[in-house]
């Protein structure tokens, strides 16, 4: 059902339909921003990635061809842009902007401050732990768990072997678990 809807949205977008672009954005924006934020460990950079992706999508909307599903297309696009940005960025800056504040806007303090503060703290710890991973492991974990890509799809996208991807995933999770265990305070 979603695929059919997405195909119609893409068809309308190619015709220059403003509402189709708006609907596509509203449908996938949070998933895409989450992926970019996790991959980059940088909220501001992730926002720029999302911005550039949709401006480019609008510019080239006539040429958009959907071989697979729209979500996969957008995830691949935002992941590519995130990797390009990581490559451009100096290594010294790679973890400068730890995304521990990334969830700041996610918390609706007025709605339930008590529940929000606990969730916020846990999410912050997890984000900090993800941000501390090597970029390659962050990418695999993010594409697997947020992008819902298979290991084979991630391997194709990153241009490395399936076994390497699986190893990065496993090592990444082990590091995360280890750092989260150490960080527990009671």
The pairs formed by 66-69 with CB atoms below 8 angstroms and a separation of 24 or more are 66/6, 66/7, 66/10, 69/2, 69/3, 69/6
Task: For 158, list phi and psi in degrees, rounded to 5.
Answer: -90, -10
Residue among 142 and 157 whose Cβ is closer to other proteins: 142
Q: Which listed residue (10, 82, 127, 154) binds other proteins by CB under 8 A?
A: 127
Report in angstroms the alpha-carbon separations of 120 from 33, 109, 139, 158. 18, 10, 23, 32
Q: Which listed residue (5, 68, 80, 104) binds other proteins by CB under 8 A?
A: 104
Residue among 68 and 104 whose Cβ is closer to other proteins: 104
Q: Which listed residue (5, 84, 121, 152) binds other proteins by CB under 8 A?
A: 121
Decide if residue 102 touches other proteins (CB under 8 A): yes
Decide if residue 73 touches other proteins (CB under 8 A): no
Decide if residue 136 touches other proteins (CB under 8 A): no
Total residues contacting other proteins by CB under 8 A comes to: 69
Hey, CA dihedral for 163, 168, 170, 171, is it positive or negative? positive
Decide if residue 180 touches other proteins (CB under 8 A): yes
Task: Name, in order, each residue with C-beta under 8 angstroms of 110's C-beta and a sequence gap of 6 or more.
Answer: none
Q: Which listed residue (47, 72, 132, 164) binds other proteins by CB under 8 A?
A: 47
**Block residue for tokens 């993800």:** 130
| C-alpha R_g of the chain | 18
Residue among 159 and 181 whose Cβ is closer to other proteins: 181
Shortest distance, position 70 Cβ to other proteins, whole Å: 15
């Amino acid at each position: 059902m979603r695929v059919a809807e997405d195909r119609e949205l893409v068809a309308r977008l190619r015709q220059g339909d403003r509402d189709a672009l708006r609907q596509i954005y509203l449908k996938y924006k949070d998933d895409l921003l989450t992926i970019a934020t996790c991959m980059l460990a940088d909220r501001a950079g992730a926002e720029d990635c999302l911005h550039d992706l949709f401006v480019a999508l609008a510019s080239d909307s006539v040429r958009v061809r959907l071989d697979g599903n729209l979500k996969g297309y957008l995830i691949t696009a935002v992941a590519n842009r995130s990797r390009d940005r990581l490559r451009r960025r100096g290594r010294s800056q790679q973890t400068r902007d730890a995304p521990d504040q990334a969830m700041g806007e996610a918390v609706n303090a007025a709605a339930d401050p008590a529940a929000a503060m606990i969730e916020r703290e846990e999410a912050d710890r997890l984000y900090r732990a993800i941000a501390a991973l090597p970029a390659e492991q962050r990418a695999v974990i993010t594409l697997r768990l947020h992008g819902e890509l298979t290991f084979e799809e991630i391997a194709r996208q990153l241009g490395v072997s399936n076994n390497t991807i699986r190893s990065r995933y496993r090592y990444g999770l082990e590091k995360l678990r280890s750092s989260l265990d150490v960080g527990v305070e009671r």
